[in-house]
Amino acid sequence: GVFTSTVKNQGTAATPAGIAIGVAYSVDGVYRTWGSVTGPLAAGASVTIGTNGGSYTIPNGTHTIMAFADDVNRFAESDETNNKLSQPITIP
């Protein structure tokens, strides 16, 4: 699969200029690929981040997909607890 996620800066300040805003993507708890864009991202703004690390074939069945923004903690945030989102998917 090729993943995309929408990342929103919910803080009160922009992310640092020139610093990557990264997302790690996992399937069933196993890291599979990543994506990033270069900041800054203004306070309140959103950006869609796809994959730079290649695609991954997801086998048939029910799985949990997780997107983890700022997974390597490139910059400090006012709230570090809102960086992950998991969703179940079913591949027929």
Q: Given its phi and psi angles, is residue 86 left (phi above 0), alpha (psi -120 to 50 degrees) or beta?
A: beta
Look at the pTM and tell me if it is higher than 0.85. Answer: yes
Given a cut of 90, is residue 87 above it in pLDDT?
A: yes
- Name the one residue in this structure whose structure tokens are 């910059």: 75
- For the chain, domains (ranges, CATH) are 5-91 (2.60.40.10)
pLDDT, tens digit (0-9, with 9 covering 90-100), for 24-76: 999 999 999 999 999 999 999 999 999 988 778 899 999 999 999 999 999 88
